[in-house]
Structure 1
Amino acid sequence: MTDQDSFSTRIKVRHYELDTLGHLNHSVYHLYAEVARLEWFEHAGGGGNGLRDAGAAPVLLESNIRFRRELRAGDEVDVSCDVTFGEGKTFRMNSDIRKIDGTLAAEITCTIGVMDLTLRKLVADPRGVLEQAGLAVP
């Protein structure tokens, strides 16, 4: 993947995911973003054992959401996942949840780190660890 690549996955809202008001329960929006993040890792090459063999794993440190429009049973949404690296031990994985017609339903911003599974601490260079594990990162 390159900086210009944008990853997205399609999900259909199911009846059992609704709250008492008949729209998608707030916690399910976070689950949809998690699906997109996991599928991004798989798409980027993380579906193999590269990270596990390196003794590392991505960890969610923070997740914030802005609800824009309600989603109801039967709606189909595209959930994007855009990855941004900066300096330091963390990076961002941001998701937009959009109805098929393009209507923005939610914006989710996540802070991610890569944990050294032996030391149980974040690695200093998450991008480098992901690249060494064989992931194509932006």
Structure 2
Amino acid sequence: MTEFNYEVEVDVRFRDLDSMGHVNNAVYATYFEHARTLYMDDVFGDRPEEINVALVNLNIDFKRQVRFGESVTVGVGVTELGDSSVTMEYEVRTGDELAATGSTILVAIDDEGNSRSMPESVREGIREYEGL
């Protein structure tokens, strides 16, 4: 398993389940979003809406079912820092078992929705926290 500097605990809610009794695949994106938002607030120093970023790519690989009553740990970190984009990787675990991995790409955008350079304060926060 990957080592992440930033981790978030999430309790599995009944509403997260599908008709098969395990966490629905789409909910993993919500777990990623929750961890990403807290990470951005703590590491970037700003919330996503304050720096105006858009999610442009999402990948999830499922390894194990997660069921009601379990809690998950979501690890998140920035692995690539471009001029206008940030690639983040995720890992969802239940205890020591890997449940899913994934990645997202965020792009800084202007008020018209065009890409722009990521604010230097954000870039510096990421470099300092991740050692990039």
* Common fold by TM > 0.5: yes
TM-score range, shorter chain: 0.7 to 0.9
Q: 1:121 to 1:128 in 2, by over 3 A?
A: same
Task: Provide the rounded CA distance (Å) in 1 between the counterparts of 2:122 and 2:115.
Answer: 13
Unaligned runs of 5+ in 1: none
Aligned residues: 124
Structure 2: any 5+ residue segments left out of the alignment? 128-132
1:122 matches 2:115: yes
Q: TM-score, normalised by structure 2?
A: 0.83
How much identity, in percent, do the aligned residues show?
A: 25
Structure 1 position 137 matched with structure 2 position 126: yes
Runs of 4+ aligned residues of structure 1 deviating over 4 Å after TM superposition are none
Which residue in the other structure is 1:71 paired with?
Answer: 66
Structure 1 segment 1-138 matched on structure 2, within 5 A: 6-44=5-43, 45-47=45-47, 52=50, 56-100=51-95, 102-117=96-111, 119-123=112-116, 125-126=117-118, 128=120, 130-131=122-123, 136-138=125-127
Alignment RMSD, CA only? Answer: 2.2
- Amino acid of the residue matched to residue 115 of structure 1? I
Larger radius of gyration: 1
User: TM-score w.r.t. structure 1 length?
Assistant: 0.80
Which digits, 9 at most, give the CA deviation of each residue in 1:49-103, with x for residues without a partner?
9x73xxx412100101000000000111110111123444322011100112x21
